[in-house]
Copies of this chain bind each other. A is one copy, B any other.
Amino acid sequence: MEYSAQAQLIITYLKNLQTTICNGLEMVDGSTKFRHDDWQRPAGGGGQTRVLADGAVFEKGGVNFSAINGEIPPFLQKEIQEHFPQMPASTHFLATGISIVIHPQSPLVPIIHMNIRYFETNNGAYWFGGGIDLTPHYVMHDDANYFHNQLKNVCDKLSAETYNNYKNWADDYFYIKHRNETRGIGGIFFDKLWANETHTIHNIMEFWQNIGNTFLPTYTQLVNKNKTKNYTAEQKRFQLLRRGRYVEFNLVYDRGTKFGLETDGRIESILMSLPKHVSWEYDANSTLGTEELATLALLKKGVNWLGN
């Protein structure tokens, strides 16, 4: 498939962003470097997985770029026709994006996830999607407030409703139904975004790139603020339990993970999101302290993190 000029620009942007973010995270960590693995997808396209492990600050993290293409599978064909009923049917697709999950060593530093993605077909259908959410092991009000205000600043440039709409979407998406808990304090999530009466393609691409660009300064700020704080064995234990929830979300609900597992994606790249050390205890909630219970009480949909 011939990629559009737009797609080629986007791929260049994503590759540069991957390098920028990896360089930035290496500086924050100070003790370890990302390993690079190039891979090809037999059915078309490929990617570069970058992972780091056992750093001073980061226990495990991945910053994955991929640009895969091929014939449109039936379930995608259905989605495309639903959203672009006026277009002639396409036969081939390109899906490109960056996916990031970072698990820090310290329970006082939050886990972060970002994914920005672009999709197009050979007949001109396209859309943008993305999401970024923060999973503090311990919810700290100032950090949550800062994180959500950073996202709101990006969203407000697109429109006044964007933050609320995409924040609510994230609350619904990053939700662990069987635990009746959100994964963390949410963030924003969106999909199937394309030019319309309200937004030009230029507006949308700028918004989408602004999300990508805000990742590194926002996370760096949160990491540097908390990475040297001392923590207790009880806080470490709680971190391992919270990571268990992260695994539950990713293996049971996450669409990207499920899509990857079902379509024979590169398994090590898909599951790089799983933390190195994780723990499950029976009925752990009944043994938690007040600080831990205070965090659990905040893992709900609909919390307004913007106010002081």
Which 4 residue pairs spanning A and B have beta carbons closest together?
A: A251-B251, A274-B280, A51-B282, A178-B261
Closest to A180 in B: B267
Residues of the B chain whose Cβ atoms lie less than 8 Å from the Cβ of A278: 247, 277-280
Contact A279/B281 with A247-B251, A251-B248 known, Cβ cut-off 8 Å: no
Q: Judging by beta carbons under 8 Å apart, are A244 and B274 in contact?
A: yes
Q: Please give me the residue from chain B that is nearest to A240 by CB atom.
A: B277
User: CB within 8 Å of B: which of A233-273?
Assistant: 240, 244, 247-248, 251-252, 261, 264, 267-268, 271-272
21 example contacts (A-B, Cβ-Cβ < 8 A) are as follows A37-B283, A51-B282, A53-B282, A62-B282, A177-B261, A178-B264, A179-B267, A244-B274, A247-B247, A247-B251, A248-B251, A248-B271, A252-B252, A268-B282, A272-B282, A275-B280, A276-B281, A277-B278, A278-B278, A278-B279, A278-B280
- Kindly supply a per-residue 1/0 record for chain A positions 205-243, scoring 1 wherever the CB is within 8 Å of any chain B CB and 0 otherwise: 000000000000000000000000000000000001000
Residue of B nearest to A257 (CB): B252
Closest residue of B by beta carbon distance from A269: B282
Q: Which residues from B are CB-within-8-Å of A35? A: 282
Chain A binding surface, main DSSP class: mixed
A248 to B273, CA, bound (A): 13
Q: Is A60 an interface residue (CB 8 A)?
A: yes
Q: How many A residues are at the interface, by size bracket?
A: 20 to 34
* Most-contacted residue by chain B among A177, A178, A275 (CB, 10 A): A178
The contact string, 1 if C-beta is below 8 Å from chain B, for chain A 161-185, is 0000000000000000111000000
Q: Verify A268–B283 contact, CB threshold 8 A.
A: yes
A303 vs B247: C-alpha distance in the bound complex, in angstroms?
31
CB neighbours (8 Å) of A264 from chain B are 178
Task: Enumerate chain B residues within 8 angstroms of A240, measured Cβ to Cβ.
Answer: 277
Q: B267 touching A178 by the CB < 8 A rule?
A: yes
List of B residues within 8 angstroms of A252 by Cβ: 251-252, 261
- Measured CA separation A247–B279 after assembly (Å): 11
| CB nearest neighbor in B for A275 | B280
A272 to B247, CA, bound (A): 15
Per the bound structure, the CA–CA distance linking A261 and B277 in Å amounts to 24
- With contact pairs A247-B251, A248-B251 given, residues A276 and B280 touching in the complex (Cβ less than 8 Å): yes
